[in-house]
Amino acid sequence: MKAAKEMTNWNIEKIRRDFPVLSREVNGKPLVYLDNGASSQVPQSVIDRTSKYLAEEHSNIHRGVHYLSQHATTAYEAAREKVKRFINAAEAKECIFVRGTTEGINLVAYSYGRKFIGEGDEIIVSAMEHHSNIVPWQIVAEEKGAKIRVIPMNERGELIIEEYEKLLNERTKIVAATHVSNSLGTVNPIKEMIATAHKFGVPVLVDAAQSVPHFPVDVQDLDADFFVFSGHKMYAPTASGIVYGKREWLDKMPPYQTGGGMIRTVSFEKTTFAPIPEKFEAGTPGIAAGIGLGAAIDYLNSLDFNAAADYEHSILEYATARLADIPEVKIIGTAGNKASVLSFTIDGIHPHDIGTILDQQGIAVRAGHHCAQPVMEFFDVPATARASFAFYNTREEVDKLADAVQKVIEVFA
């Protein structure tokens, strides 16, 4: 992604007006929202569409013959089609609604693992994974007698690709790797990693929670086998998310959950299952959240998403330069290719104290291990403060962050 300077084709004032929460105050100060890696804010158009469903269209979907049910079903399935086009899936049926990335990875780990992983097999994850892309695979490995292998990273927070290639062998059954690190911001060369795994006939799951909101993706170009992401990080309501999976895998995998909606026939002797995507969508789904995800995609499609990505990257570069100029600050994660995330520590000050004082200035950042304890252990820190950016953030907000960091240092001097 090219490094942008001053963006003349990005109307930041107009964009900010789309997000009502950005006009509020916190602790008597204008809100500076820099916690987008945890959850982005929601534009008014998404709020309106979700409210319209709840106020005028609410009904359970599928199998209903009455007007509201059919109308809600049409809206929900239209959202699935929007997802398909947004990530360029081959067909909408390859897009499974889930509550978010965590549930999505658990779905793949449980279903794929039950079918294809056995004793002595190996599962490859990377050293920078979110816990959601570690723990499910550990459980599968323990149950199946398989082994977890870890792709190492260097001191800049970049995966050592040469070591990754050495890990692949005839026992490898799946690679599960993040596209963009939630704790470091590193953008991994995921297309190349997928191609390398495919040389061994190994499928790849991509944790795309931190990539889909920040730059265009194309699952067919990447050749991803599984591609999982959350709606709440891409301007949609919480409890919305997607598992994309190639049909060739999804058709072979057993259901993750069972019950209503995912069956073809049920008798006391035998149950047969519906085809995808219904096979993986047991019970009443988050209908409002799914429709909201579709509305968020509509919003993103109304923008020049490449320009949004360039603008956002310029904000990250500016913030990196501002904080790097403060001697007491250490930036954690200095990869050559990054997106959205700026993690840092201050000498002698716990990140929770940093976050608390920034909050008093109206600045929202995340402080902690970011569900990435192995990353914290690697960098020998208990936690970091993390500023994570979206295309509605401004240089003025970055200046406020830098000034507030200086205030933190003064308080603890």
Task: Write out the catalytic residue numbers.
Answer: 371
| Three state DSSP letters for the chain | CCCCCCCCCCCHHHHHHCCHHHHCEECCEECEECECCCCCCCCHHHHHHHHHHHHHHCCCCCCCCCHHHHHHHHHHHHHHHHHHHHHCCCCHHHEEEECCHHHHHHHHHHHHHHHHCCCCCEEEEECCCCHHHCHHHHHHHHHHCCEEEEECECCCCCECHHHHHHHCCCCEEEEEEECECCCCCEECCHHHHHHHHHCCCCCEEEECCCCCCCCCCCHHHHCCCEEEEECCCCCCCCCCEEEEECHHHHCCCCCCCCCCCCEEEECCCCEEECCCCHHHCCCCCCHHHHHHHHHHHHHHHCCCHHHHHHHHHHHHHHHHHHHHCCCCEEEECCCCCECCEEEEEECCECHHHHHHHHHHCCEECEEECCCCHHHHHHCCCCCEEEEECCCCCCHHHHHHHHHHHHHHHHHCC
Q: Residue 37: what are its φ and ψ, rounded to 5°?
A: -70, -25
Q: Residue 244: what are its φ and ψ, rounded to 5°?
A: -90, 135
Total number of residues shown for the chain: 413
Please tell me the distance from the alpha carbon of residue 306 to that of residue 275, in angstroms, as a whole number.
36
Please tell me the distance from the alpha carbon of residue 252 to that of residue 388, in angstroms, as a whole number.
38
Please tell me the distance from the alpha carbon of residue 340 to that of residue 241, in angstroms, as a whole number.
20
Q: Around Cβ 45, how many Cβ atoms within 10 Å?
A: 15
Q: Residue 2: what are its φ and ψ, rounded to 5°?
A: -70, 150
